[in-house]
C-alpha cells in the first residue's frame, strides 16, 4: 500500500495574512537526483492563469535528519529539490509560506476573522506523485475556530478544537475541496436523502431558516431532474462579499459562494442569491462530471482550451432559473421577466455580432476575465449568450419533437454517458450526441446559434409558444452609448458602444465627461440633461482626456428600442399547451 503524502497547513500570521505549508514525501526515490514541486497556475472552473506562485514565500526543503536541501526555482511555478545520495530513499520535507489577502472564491484570504483557502492557490504538488493518496493536517490560528471542508475527516473526536486531519485519494481530490476556518456556525439540512451543510461567514446578515428551506427545495428540484444526487454529502460555503461583489466556484461535492453581506435584504437580492446557489449546485453534474475531455484530468500549469463552455456555463445559467421554477421559487411570470432581462442585456452587446459562442468559449483564457475597452464591441460572454442559446435549443427541441423531448433529455443523456464511462465527452461529437439524445437534426441551429454570429431566433421560437417577444416603441430619449465609471467624482467613459453617439463624437476610453451643451455633467443629472437636449442636432461635449480639456460634437440620437415579453391569452391550443409545459404550469414528465 502506498504511503500517503502528508500536507500540513497552518494559519501562521493573521496580521501578515500568511499560511504556513509543509509537504512531506515519506520516501524519496532511490534512483533520482532531484524532485520537482509545482503550484497550479489556475483553478478549475475559473479559466484564467492566475499565477498563484507570486504569493509563495520562503521555500526550503530538508531531509529526514533535518539537513537543508538545495531548492532552486526553475520556472515561474516550479521548484527543483536536489537529492544528494544520502537523502535518497528517505523522507523529504518541503516548507513554504503563502500570502493570502484576495477575497474571492478562487484564492486565499486570511485575516483575524477567518481564513479561506482555495487549495490550488496554496498546496503544491510533487511531479510524478499526482495519483498518490494524501493526508492534510490543518491548524487554525485561533483554537476556538472550526475547520470546514468536504474532505473526509480521519481524526477522532478527541482532537483539540482548531485542529483537524483529512484524507484524499489523490492530489486532484485534495485540491478540489476548499477549506474555511473561523468561528462560524454550521447549519445542516436533509435534501433528497442526503445531508447538506451550510456555512455562512456572516450569518447575522442572512435569513438562515428561510435559506435552509429554499436550498432544500433547490437541491431536490435538481435531484428530481437527474434522478438522484451523485454525492454522499455536500457543503455550501458562503463568504461575505465586499460591496456588490458576488460569484461562485463549483467543486465536486461543495461550492463556495461570494455574496454581498447585506444582499439578502431585498426580494431581488434574495432571489439573486438563490439563483447563484442553484447555478453552482447544478455544476455538480454539468462541469464537475458532464464535461469535455480537456476539463479533467487537468494540466494545472497551462490553459485547458475548449469550445464547449457555452454548454458548461451558458446552459447552467439557463438551468439556474429552470431549477428555481421547478422548486416553486419563481413564478412563470417572473421567469419570463428574467429571460427578458437576459435577452435585453444580450441585445445591448455589439460583440454578439462578431464572436460566436464556440469562439467565446475558446477565448475565455484571454478575454472574459481580462476585459478591455473594446470587449463590449468585439466579444460576447458565453455565460450570457450561452444562456439565451440554451433557451433557443430547448424551445426548438420542444417544438420540433411536438413536446416529446427537451433540453432535459440532452442533460440526462450526457449524464448517462458519464455514469457509463466516467470520462469527459468528445467535443467534436457533441452536436451528434445532442441530436441523438433528442432524435432531431439540429445542424441549422448549431450553425447559426453555436458556431455562427446571427441573431438568436428567440422571438420566432417564443411565438410558437404563444409568447410575444417584441421591440417596444422607443421613448425617443437621447443616449450616450457608454459604459460609465467614476474617477475623481466625474463620469468616465470606460467603454464606448459601436454605433453610439459617443463613438460618433470621438469619445475615447478613459475620457472624463465634464459638460454637455455647456452644462456640467454629474451622475445625478445625466439622465435629465440628456432628456433636455434638442433632438436630431449636435451639441458641444467637453471632456478631459489625459488631463487636457477637449471639445467634441455630440449628435443627439434616440436610444435603441428595448424589448418586451407578453403571453398571448388567445392563441392556438397547441401553442398554449407547449407554453404551459415549458413554464411548468403542468407537472413535468418524470
Residues 20, 38 within the same domain: yes
Which of 137, 162, 181 is a domain's end point? 181
pLDDT at site 590: 47
**What phi and psi, each to the nearest 5 degrees, are found at residue 343?**
-65, -45
Spell out a b/e string for 268-294, using b for 16 or more CB atoms within 10 Å of the CB, else e. ebbbbbbbbbbbbbbbbbbbbbbbbeb
Q: Phi-psi bin for 215: left (phi > 0), alpha (psi -120 to 50), beta?
A: alpha
Which CATH number does the domain housing residue 378 bear?
1.10.390.10
If we measure between CA atoms, which residue out of 485, 505, 519 comes closest to residue 551?
505
Which CATH number does the domain housing residue 532 bear?
2.30.42.10
Let me know if residue 273 belongs to a domain: no
pLDDT at site 1: 64
Q: What average pLDDT does this structure show over 231-240?
A: 97
If we measure between CA atoms, which residue out of 468, 469, 464, 408 comes closest to residue 577?
464
- In this structure, which long-range contacts are made by residues 187-193, counting pairs with CB atoms below 8 Å and at least 24 apart in sequence? 187/212, 189/213, 189/215, 189/216, 190/216, 191/215, 191/216, 191/219, 191/220, 191/223, 191/229, 192/219, 192/220, 192/223, 192/224, 192/228, 192/229, 193/229
Residues 416, 489 within the same domain: no
DSSP label of 211: H
557 near 299, Cβ under 8 Å?
no
Only one residue has cell 509560506, namely: 97
Let me know if residue 167 belongs to a domain: yes
If one compares 560 and 249, the residue with the highest pLDDT of the two is 249
Partnered with residue 425 across adjacent β-strands are 292
412 near 290, Cβ under 8 Å?
no
Determine the structural domain holding residue 163 and report its residue range.
Answer: 5-181
**Residue 243 binned pLDDT confidence (cut-offs 50, 70, 90):** confident
Q: How many other CB atoms are there within 10 angstroms of residue 412's CB atom?
A: 16
**What phi and psi, each to the nearest 5 degrees, are found at residue 508?**
-110, 155
pLDDT in tens, 374-423: 999 999 999 999 999 999 999 999 999 999 999 999 999 999 999 999 99
Let me know if residue 272 belongs to a domain: no
Let me know if residue 99 belongs to a domain: yes
pLDDT in tens, 56-70: 999 999 999 999 999
Residues 425, 548 within the same domain: no
The sign of the torsion formed by the CA atoms of 85, 88, 93, 95 equals positive
Residues 448, 540 within the same domain: no
Residues 351, 422 within the same domain: yes
Let me know if residue 427 belongs to a domain: yes
If we measure between CA atoms, which residue out of 482, 485, 480, 492 comes closest to residue 546?
492
Which CATH number does the domain housing residue 237 bear?
3.30.2010.30
pLDDT in tens, 108-164: 999 999 999 999 999 999 999 999 999 999 999 999 999 999 999 999 766 788 999
- Residue 236 to residue 178: CA distance in whole angstroms: 11
Let me know if residue 201 belongs to a domain: yes
369 pLDDT higher than 80: yes
Residues 490, 373 within the same domain: no
DSSP label of 299: -
76 pLDDT higher than 90: yes
* Residue 515 DSSP SS3: strand
Residues 82, 125 within the same domain: yes
Residues 377, 462 within the same domain: yes
pLDDT at site 421: 94
- Residue 308 to residue 305: CA distance in whole angstroms: 9
- Residue 115 to residue 19: CA distance in whole angstroms: 9
Residues 234, 344 within the same domain: no
Residues 525, 457 within the same domain: no
If we measure between CA atoms, which residue out of 110, 107, 134 comes closest to residue 118?
107
**HEC-encoded secondary structure of 218-259:** HHHHHHHHHCCCCCCEEEEEEEEECCCCCEEEECCCEEEEEE
pLDDT at site 477: 86
Let me know if residue 268 belongs to a domain: no
DSSP string over 46-113: B-S---GGGGEEEEEEE-TTS-EE-EEEEETTEEEEE--GGGTTS-EEEEEEEE-B--STTSEEE-SS
Partnered with residue 43 across adjacent β-strands are 46
pLDDT in tens, 17-53: 999 999 999 999 999 999 999 999 999 999 999 999 9
203 pLDDT higher than 80: no
- Residue 149 to residue 236: CA distance in whole angstroms: 10
586 pLDDT higher than 80: no
Pairing label, strands 18-25, 5-13: antiparallel
Let me know if residue 219 belongs to a domain: yes
Tell the burial category of 316 from Cβ atoms under 10 Å away from its Cβ (0-12, 13-18, 19+).
buried
pLDDT in tens, 308-336: 999 999 999 999 999 999 999 999 999 99
The sign of the torsion formed by the CA atoms of 366, 371, 373, 374 equals positive
Q: What average pLDDT does this structure show over 260-289?
A: 96
pLDDT in tens, 466-513: 999 999 876 678 999 999 988 878 899 999 999 999 999 999 999 999
Residues 208, 327 within the same domain: no
* Number of domain units in the chain: 4
588 pLDDT higher than 70: no
Residues 292, 439 within the same domain: yes
pLDDT at site 556: 96
Which CATH number does the domain housing residue 69 bear?
2.60.40.3650
Amino acid at each position: 500500500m502506498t504511503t500517503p503524502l502528508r500536507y500540513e497547513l497552518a494559519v501562521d500570521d493573521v496580521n501578515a495574512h500568511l499560511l504556513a505549508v509543509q509537504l512531506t514525501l515519506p520516501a524519496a526515490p532511490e534512483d533520482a537526483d532531484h524532485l520537482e514541486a509545482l503550484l497550479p497556475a489556475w483553478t478549475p472552473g475559473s479559466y484564467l492563469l492566475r499565477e498563484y506562485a507570486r504569493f509563495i514565500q520562503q521555500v526550503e526543503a530538508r531531509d529526514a535528519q533535518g539537513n537543508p536541501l538545495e531548492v532552486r526555482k526553475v520556472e515561474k511555478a516550479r521548484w527543483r529539490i536536489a537529492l544528494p545520495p544520502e537523502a535518497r530513499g528517505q523522507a523529504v520535507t518541503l516548507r513554504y509560506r503563502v500570502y493570502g489577502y484576495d477575497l474571492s472564491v478562487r484564492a486565499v484570504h486570511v485575516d483575524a476573522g477567518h481564513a479561506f483557502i482555495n487549495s490550488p492557490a496554496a498546496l503544491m504538488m510533487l511531479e510524478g506523485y499526482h495519483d498518490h493518496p494524501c493526508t492534510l493536517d490543518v491548524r487554525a490560528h485561533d483554537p476556538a475556530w472550526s475547520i470546514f471542508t468536504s474532505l473526509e475527516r480521519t481524526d477522532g473526536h478527541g482532537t483539540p478544537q482548531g485542529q483537524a486531519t483529512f484524507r484524499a485519494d489523490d492530489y486532484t481530490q485534495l485540491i478540489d475541496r476548499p477549506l474555511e476556518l473561523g468561528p462560524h456556525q454550521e447549519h445542516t439540512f436533509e435534501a433528497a436523502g442526503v445531508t447538506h451543510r451550510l456555512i455562512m461567514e456572516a450569518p447575522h446578515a442572512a435569513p438562515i431558516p428561510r435559506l435552509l428551506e429554499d436550498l432544500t427545495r433547490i437541491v431536490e428540484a435538481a435531484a428530481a431532474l437527474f434522478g438522484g444526487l451523485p454525492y454522499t454529502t455536500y457543503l455550501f460555503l458562503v463568504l461575505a462579499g465586499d460591496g456588490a461583489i458576488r460569484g461562485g466556484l463549483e467543486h465536486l461535492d461543495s461550492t463556495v459562494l461570494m455574496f454581498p453581506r447585506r444582499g439578502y435584504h431585498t426580494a431581488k437580492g434574495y432571489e439573486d442569491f438563490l439563483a447563484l446557489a442553484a447555478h453552482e449546485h447544478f455544476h455538480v453534474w454539468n462541469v464537475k462530471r458532464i464535461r469535455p475531455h480537456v476539463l479533467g484530468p487537468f494540466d494545472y500549469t497551462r490553459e485547458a482550451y475548449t469550445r464547449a463552455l457555452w454548454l458548461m456555463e451558458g446552459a447552467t445559467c439557463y438551468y439556474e432559473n429552470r431549477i428555481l421554477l421547478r422548486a416553486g421559487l419563481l413564478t412563470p411570470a417572473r421567469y419570463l421577466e428574467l429571460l427578458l432581462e437576459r435577452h435585453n442585456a444580450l441585445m445591448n452587446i455589439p460583440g454578439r455580432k462578431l464572436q460566436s459562442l464556440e469562439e467565446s468559449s475558446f477565448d475565455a483564457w484571454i478575454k472574459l476575465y481580462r476585459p478591455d475597452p473594446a470587449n463590449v464591441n468585439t466579444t460576447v460572454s458565453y455565460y450570457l449568450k450561452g444562456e439565451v442559446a440554451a433557451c433557443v435549443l430547448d424551445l426548438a427541441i420542444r417544438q420540433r419533437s411536438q413536446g416529446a423531448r427537451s433540453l432535459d433529455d440532452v442533460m440526462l443523456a450526457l449524464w448517462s454517458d458519464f455514469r457509463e464511462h466516467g470520462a469527459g465527452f468528445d467535443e467534436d461529437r457533441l452536436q451528434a450526441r445532442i441530436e441523438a439524445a433528442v432524435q432531431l437534426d439540429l445542424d441549422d441551429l448549431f450553425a447559426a446559434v453555436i458556431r455562427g454570429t446571427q441573431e438568436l431566433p428567440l422571438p420566432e421560437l417564443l411565438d410558437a409558444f404563444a409568447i410575444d417577444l417584441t421591440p417596444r416603441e422607443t421613448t425617443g430619449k437621447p443616449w450616450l452609448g457608454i459604459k460609465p465609471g467614476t474617477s475623481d467624482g466625474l463620469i468616465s467613459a470606460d467603454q464606448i458602444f459601436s454605433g453610439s453617439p459617443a463613438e460618433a463624437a470621438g469619445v475615447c476610453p478613459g475620457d472624463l465627461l465634464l459638460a454637455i451643451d455647456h452644462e456640467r455633467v454629474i451622475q445625478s443629472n445625466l439622465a435629465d440633461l440628456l432628456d433636455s437636449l434638442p433632438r436630431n442636432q449636435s451639441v458641444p461635449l467637453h471632456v478631459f482626456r489625459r488631463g487636457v480639456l477637449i471639445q467634441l460634437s455630440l449628435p443627439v440620437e434616440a436610444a435603441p428600442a428595448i424589448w418586451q415579453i407578453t403571453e398571448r391569452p388567445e392563441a392556438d391550443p397547441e401553442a398554449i399547451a407547449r407554453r404551459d409545459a415549458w413554464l411548468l404550469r403542468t407537472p413535468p414528465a418524470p
